[in-house]
Amino acid sequence: MIIVMQAGAAEAQLAHVVARVEGLGLKPHVIVGTERTVVAVVGDERGAASGGLETLPGVASVMPILAPYKVASREVQPEPTVVRAGSLVVGGGTVGVIAGPCSVESRDQIVATAAAVKAAGATGLRGGAFKPRTSPYSFQGMKERGLELLAEARAETGLAIVTEVVSPEDVPLVARYADVLQIGARNMQNYRLLEAVGRTQVAVLLKRGPAATVEELLLAAEYILDGGNRQVMLCERGIRTFETHTRFTLPLATVPWLHARTHLPVVVDPSHGTGHSPLVESMAAAAVAAGADGLIVEVHPDPKCAASDGGQTLDFAAFSRMMTVCRKVAEAVGRRL
Amino acid sequence: MIIVMQAGAAEAQLAHVVARVEGLGLKPHVIVGTERTVVAVVGDERGAASGGLETLPGVASVMPILAPYKVASREVQPEPTVVRAGSLVVGGGTVGVIAGPCSVESRDQIVATAAAVKAAGATGLRGGAFKPRTSPYSFQGMKERGLELLAEARAETGLAIVTEVVSPEDVPLVARYADVLQIGARNMQNYRLLEAVGRTQVAVLLKRGPAATVEELLLAAEYILDGGNRQVMLCERGIRTFETHTRFTLPLATVPWLHARTHLPVVVDPSHGTGHSPLVESMAAAAVAAGADGLIVEVHPDPKCAASDGGQTLDFAAFSRMMTVCRKVAEAVGRRL
Amino acid sequence: MIIVMQAGAAEAQLAHVVARVEGLGLKPHVIVGTERTVVAVVGDERGAASGGLETLPGVASVMPILAPYKVASREVQPEPTVVRAGSLVVGGGTVGVIAGPCSVESRDQIVATAAAVKAAGATGLRGGAFKPRTSPYSFQGMKERGLELLAEARAETGLAIVTEVVSPEDVPLVARYADVLQIGARNMQNYRLLEAVGRTQVAVLLKRGPAATVEELLLAAEYILDGGNRQVMLCERGIRTFETHTRFTLPLATVPWLHARTHLPVVVDPSHGTGHSPLVESMAAAAVAAGADGLIVEVHPDPKCAASDGGQTLDFAAFSRMMTVCRKVAEAVGRRL
Amino acid sequence: MIIVMQAGAAEAQLAHVVARVEGLGLKPHVIVGTERTVVAVVGDERGAASGGLETLPGVASVMPILAPYKVASREVQPEPTVVRAGSLVVGGGTVGVIAGPCSVESRDQIVATAAAVKAAGATGLRGGAFKPRTSPYSFQGMKERGLELLAEARAETGLAIVTEVVSPEDVPLVARYADVLQIGARNMQNYRLLEAVGRTQVAVLLKRGPAATVEELLLAAEYILDGGNRQVMLCERGIRTFETHTRFTLPLATVPWLHARTHLPVVVDPSHGTGHSPLVESMAAAAVAAGADGLIVEVHPDPKCAASDGGQTLDFAAFSRMMTVCRKVAEAVGRRL
């Protein structure tokens, strides 16, 4: 880390900083500049209580040098991770497409959707059985019955099941049915839940929280990887900004930025990322062009009757059109979908 | 709700919207404007799948009229809720001050801090035993041993204990020790946890998530209230914006806005809200001037050695100065602290 | 507009609102709901001082119905505007690519760049002569000499010149040299400047301000259109959010959203939108996939020696690779580049 | 500045960086760490094209050390600047209050308002004659006639006049009437305008742009100071965030942060900062408690009839109440108002 001293900091203050850095087992290098003195610190700073250093008298600021994540880093594993979960392959040049309703509502709904999205080229089926909802007065999901219906849809179509788990105590139950455990955006920093899925060997789709930095997303992944589960996909689904014409703002530059720093594959969610079905096809195509390794898209037989998220959900025909466009764009950038 | 039709929407599209509103058990009023037609919908819209309505052909947008929260609303309970938990009173003209370290680290540390903050006028003691940390490589808290030390500090000083609970299965344990259960910002939308604390009769301090709107904060409170626990304090601790010179941006207009809409008391956290100890006193005073019912402030015997959050933590002398200023400001705005 | 009354508003308050709406020449429709009364107002609300209505006793909020822009709207002109300025065509299925250095630095630099970007397929040449810089200590541009060098580059290559104008009094001078006048993001709401370019017949590239909503962007365009100049391109170049790993956050959903509401073409700037050259190619491809009508990209013979913005600038080889990818993506989505 | 090399950067890449730093006239210090090598650069980095350095092969990132502003810095002038403009004093323990309508509308309106705000304790009169408006269809101000009316109000009350100037060519005209030239938020980075007011000796109130960082605000002030005008007040008026319940988010931590870094006084605008009159009093009191050197507040004889910004404007009685509270809070924090 780099410790910047205040202009006019006293010699004794500098000596105190140097002593404290040495006390942490790190090695200080003092550089006297024309206006400021800085202390460059050599050693693994991740464990150091750097917060404390910035409160020392005479210190102006402390800047970390090392990225705080390790196992997720490309420096540790240069070759990209490819996630394989049943029919679903994400990464390594293959764009995996996960599609399905926000919530599982009935056997007919989920089986019909599975058949339609498979026909259009999807390789995973999404569907929420445990629903985290902003309001306690909204539909909360079918729970285990929903998981059973997902399993029936898988039996009929062969599609891998992607479904959300919202609490550590549900992990064993959901893991019995799911091919991929989804961690929702609201739970990206629910560390007990991250630890619980990290102890399974089921693939995980980890969604970025709407106020999380990309470094925080990687640190959340680190909780899962650190537990021994290496089958982790990161998911960009939009951040909260001042924009109100979309539900969230979908920052696709996340995709190439992450690819340069982590070996984990990156999935994009154009449904939550925009919140409006007329914008989904364009943003799905843009995500593929930006290099996304996967898409997760909300599809329902009759969006206007959906129990949740109808406004951002495609019907079967719109999803099929979206897939046609995305397939061409994938080819244009040297990938297959 | 108000349904705005597109310019040039067909009669059949309007008829379809009207029929669908009636099908939801609500009453439509069609108003033909010079450029647009709108449908004003009468009835309790909170349960309606309004997301679906916006996907109907010819619909431009759907605007809700009713606030989505109920029990938290001043329309339901006009008089303010006063939270009383042991020595701590928050609301009704009394500004309650909760102070203490980010993390409980040792018996000496927590007992000394409790004595010092009590001497300066604090009525509650904060201290984390279960710590949610962004990185898996950071200190994760003393867990139950930390709770025991908090209880010892209470035995010595009489201060009410405010401490965080991070998982539903820990609620019974933490509730045995705590006077106030804190829900951290990362868990504001951890609905299982909200439900679990809602089933206790222990007071709750609910922190706003850094990307949560104030309406989402009230809906999170609604989960707790709906479970039967009415002793809920809301806590503004800053939101994530483009500003980097502070850790978060602390929007104090939240305080009077919430006071106009909810009976629940509002606590402000100037430590997380700024992230830098030199800014804490000014923002604590500003929060009291804005009408805050309480403050929660990080204090440590030796901030530069704190296991976490040292950069935003006051030492005993700085906390004492802060209290002197805040007491005068409270009097200036007709409150006591 | 819709006026929402407070729960429990008095009859006299409602009567006052109704009278005032009528006094504005608009027609009120009162709808009594189960919890709230609303007044739906029919007529052209754009001129009304609606800000005043929300201060009337008993009024909870006022919601506009009509979009505030007119001439830029697709409802006024359904067919898309195609901007043609010398060699540059933007819109109507053609993706126009404008490329060149942040600042004009020398004859060699600008002529060599023009030749290289033309060879790679660009149809417009960008280059700043008048530079708005955050710091007064940064390079401020070559001014008129820069314009002359741009004209020389056009004489040699035939490329249309796109260059920024920063002050109303400079408009006649810059308009003598430029094929397209660029309004920079910092000046999006410099209304005198918008009016000045609106009085010319030179095409305009209007950049979105980093805190501007898309409605504010359209209203800024309205100032230019209202002056009689219909050759306006909108440019998405990123907004300011909490993200720091990119210079700005580039929200590509702006492209399809604008296409649905305005006939004006939409250009994307992946250089400012990301701030880092390794991210530019991916985001340029994503912009084309999202339906952008144009790109504006920073290119320099030797980015590490550029007088400004070197970190986000491509060299000739990188630009050429970017064009190859973008051309394939354009074909994949049915456009030509 | 600190140049961080990529893990595994080659020796030749490091040598190239070192050579280039030396070529810029700066002195490099190479520090080899356990995982990374960094180059600490000594010398005045403000003029260096640091953007170029980050494009060199092997460079991971470049971090500036020195603040980019100079004349505004407390390191250059430790004692606080006190702005004196006629009746108005801002800074040095005196809280100056500027009040008046958004727009000058008539002689009666401005003279009556001046008398009322003076009676309540204001020492400056605001009123817009040249109005920058988001929509070309909104009221654009009375222009020079408005300035004449402001001068009449000053003649009757003695209050200093604070009014906005929107274009460089208007500066001489507005400066003939105004005691303080206001630079609006939309023009914070209109450098020609900053240079023009910097050439006058009239005091300036510089408003923060809604997406501007505090460093950018200081750099904008630097343009004015650099021109020779030292009578500059900074004004925090709110930033754009995801919050929609207020017009902007008002981050009061700006006040103590700026006080630690600049000698310029800081004024707060609770009217634009909240956008809703019921929130103004609380936020004005909070601003004073946070240490603000001044307030600027919108006041109108009849806000519901105001030509602009009615929703955030106080009437005379509400302003008088606000002043009573703010006076007490000022005393509580050791200031006078």
Per-residue pLDDT tens over the stretch D141-176: 999 999 999 999 999 999 999 999 999 999 999 999
What are the sequence ranges of the domains in chain B? 2-63, 83-332
In sequence order, the 6+-apart residues with CB closer than 8 A to the CB of C97 are C117, C121, C122, C123, C124, C294, C295, C296, C297, C323, C326, C337
Classify strands C2-5 and D124-126 as parallel, antiparallel or unpaired: unpaired
Q: B246 touching D, CB under 8 A?
A: yes
Rounded to an integer, what distance in angstroms lies between the CA atom of residue D163 and that of residue D175? 9
SS3 A253: coil
Please state the rounded mean pLDDT for residues D59-67: 82
User: Which pair of tokens denotes residue B324?
Assistant: 């002197």
Sign of the CA dihedral with D118 first, then D121, D125, and D127 last: negative
Q: D101 touching C, CB under 8 A?
A: no
Whether A211 shows a pLDDT value over 90: the answer reads yes
Q: A171 touching B, CB under 8 A?
A: no
SS3 A248: coil
Rounded to an integer, what distance in angstroms lies between the CA atom of residue C37 and that of residue C45? 20
Q: Looking at chain D, which residue has its C-alpha nearest residue C54?
A: D311
State the pLDDT at residue D34.
75
Q: Which residue has the higher pLDDT, C38 or D147?
A: D147
Rounded to an integer, what distance in angstroms lies between the CA atom of residue A214 and that of residue C242? 11
Per-residue pLDDT tens over the stretch C185-200: 999 999 999 999 999 9
Tell me how crowded residue D261 is: count the other CB atoms within 10 A of its CB: 18
Question: Which chain B residues touch A53 with a CB distance below 8 Å?
Answer: 304
3-state secondary structure chain C: CEEEECCCCCHHHHHHHHHHHHHCCCEEEEEECCCCEEEEEECCCCCCCHHHHCCCCCEEEEECCCCCCCCCECCCCCCCCCEEECCEEEECCECEEEEECCECCCHHHHHHHHHHHHHHCCCEEECECCCCCCCCCCCCCCCHHHHHHHHHHHHHHCCEEEEECCCHHHHHHHHHHCCEEEECHHHCCCHHHHHHHHCCCCEEEEECCCCCCHHHHHHHHHHHHHCCCCCEEEEECCECCCCCCCCCECECCHHHHHHHHECCCEEECHHHHHCCHHHHHHHHHHHHHCCCCEEEEEECCCHHHCCCCHHHCECHHHHHHHHHHHHHHHHHCCCEC
Best of A24, A27, A30, A35 to disrupt the D interface (most D CBs within 10 Å) is: A35
Per-residue pLDDT tens over the stretch D97-144: 999 999 999 999 999 999 999 999 999 999 999 988 888 888 889 999
Region class of D291: left (phi > 0), else alpha (psi between -120 and 50), else beta: left
Whether D269 shows a pLDDT value over 90: the answer reads yes
Rounded to an integer, what distance in angstroms lies between the CA atom of residue A65 and that of residue C176? 49
Rounded to an integer, what distance in angstroms lies between the CA atom of residue D245 and that of residue D248? 9
CATH H superfamily, domain B2-63: Phospho-2-dehydro-3-deoxyheptonate aldolase; domain 1 (3.30.70.1140)
State the pLDDT at residue D289.
98
Label residue D201 by pLDDT band (50, 70, 90). Answer: very high
Q: A336 touching C, CB under 8 A?
A: no
Per-residue pLDDT tens over the stretch C296-329: 999 999 998 888 888 899 999 999 999 999 999 9
Classify strands B59-63 and B2-5 as parallel, antiparallel or unpaired: antiparallel
Query: Which 183-242 residues of chain A touch chain D by CB within 8 A?
Result: 240-242
For residue C202, give the nearest of C237, C234, C233 by alpha carbon.
C233
Cβ contact B207:B184 at 8 Å: yes
**Which of D242, D279, D289 faces B288 most closely, judged by CB atoms?**
D289
Q: At what angle do helices D107-120 and D316-332 cross, to 10 degrees?
A: 30
The neighbours of chain D, by the rule of 3 or more Cβ pairs under 8 Å, are A, B, C
Per-residue pLDDT tens over the stretch C55-114: 788 888 888 877 788 899 988 899 999 999 999 999 999 999 999 999 999 999 999 999
Tell me how crowded residue C28 is: count the other CB atoms within 10 A of its CB: 18
D135 vs C219: CB contact, 8 Å cut-off?
Answer: yes
Which of the listed CATH numbers 3.40.190.80, 3.30.750.200, 3.20.20.70, 3.20.190.10 matches domain C83-332?
A: 3.20.20.70
State the pLDDT at residue D183.
98
Q: Please state the length of chain A.
A: 337
Please state the rounded mean pLDDT for residues D297-303: 95
Rounded to an integer, what distance in angstroms lies between the CA atom of residue D106 and that of residue D110? 6
Please state the rounded mean pLDDT for residues D284-296: 98
Query: Which 31-90 residues of chain A touch chain B by CB within 8 A?
Result: 46-47, 49, 51-56, 68-70
Sign of the CA dihedral with C144 first, then C150, C156, and C161 last: negative
Taking the CA of residue D77 and the nearest CA in chain A, the distance in Å comes to 13
Q: Among A54-58, A179-183, C293-297, D78-82, where is mean pLDDT lowest? A: A54-58
**Which of B132, B219, B307 faces A134 most closely, judged by CB atoms?**
B219
Question: Which chain B residues touch D332 with a CB distance below 8 Å?
Answer: 285, 325, 328-329, 331-332
D211 vs B242: CB contact, 8 Å cut-off?
Answer: yes
Whether C170 shows a pLDDT value over 60: the answer reads yes
A135 vs B311: CB contact, 8 Å cut-off?
Answer: no
Q: Kindly state the percentage of chain C with pLDDT values over 90.
A: 74
Please name the helix (run of DSSP H) or strand (run of DSSP E) that holds residue B193, with its range, or none: helix B191-198
Tell me how crowded residue C244 is: count the other CB atoms within 10 A of its CB: 11
Q: D324 touching B, CB under 8 A?
A: no
| Number of alpha helices (DSSP H) and beta strands (DSSP E) in chain A | 11, 14
| φ, ψ at C5 (rounded to 5°) | -80, 155
State the pLDDT at residue D48.
53
Label residue A50 by pLDDT band (50, 70, 90). Answer: low
A34 vs D40: CB contact, 8 Å cut-off?
Answer: no
State the pLDDT at residue B48.
53
How far lies C255's CA from each of B226, C217, D74, in Å? 42, 13, 45
D189 vs C186: CB contact, 8 Å cut-off?
Answer: yes
Q: Among A45-49, A317-321, B290-294, where is mean pLDDT lowest? A: A45-49
Q: Kindly state the percentage of chain D with pLDDT values over 90.
A: 74
Please provide the DSSP assignment of B21-63 as one string. HHHTT-EEEEEE-SS-EEEEEES-GGGS-HHHHTTSTTEEEEE
**Which of A213, A283, A289 faces C253 most closely, judged by CB atoms?**
A283
In sequence order, the 6+-apart residues with CB closer than 8 A to the CB of C196 are C168, C171
| Number of alpha helices (DSSP H) and beta strands (DSSP E) in chain D | 11, 14
Q: At what angle do helices B191-198 and B214-226 cross, to 10 degrees?
A: 40
Q: Where are the beta strands (DSSP E) in B108-217?
A: 124-126, 160-164, 180-183, 203-207
**Neighbour-count burial of D199, counting CB atoms closer than 10 A to its CB (0-12 exposed, 13-18 middle, 19+ buried):** middle
Whether A49 shows a pLDDT value over 80: the answer reads no
Question: Which chain A residues touch B219 with a CB distance below 8 Å?
Answer: 134-136
Where are the alpha helices (H) located in A121-213, listed in sequence order?
A: 144-157, 171-177, 191-198
Per-residue pLDDT tens over the stretch A58-110: 888 888 877 788 899 988 899 999 999 999 999 999 999 999 999 999 999 99
State the pLDDT at residue C50.
56
Region class of A93: left (phi > 0), else alpha (psi between -120 and 50), else beta: left
Question: Which chain B residues touch A210 with a CB distance below 8 Å?
Answer: 211
Q: Mean pLDDT per segment of 10 residues, for chain B of length 337 residues?
A: 86 91 87 84 66 80 82 90 97 97 96 98 97 84 96 98 96 97 96 96 97 96 95 98 95 97 97 96 98 98 85 96 98 97
For residue A240, give the nearest of A266, A270, A272, A276 by alpha carbon.
A272
B65 vs C29: CB contact, 8 Å cut-off?
Answer: no
Write the DSSP symbol of residue D245.
Answer: S
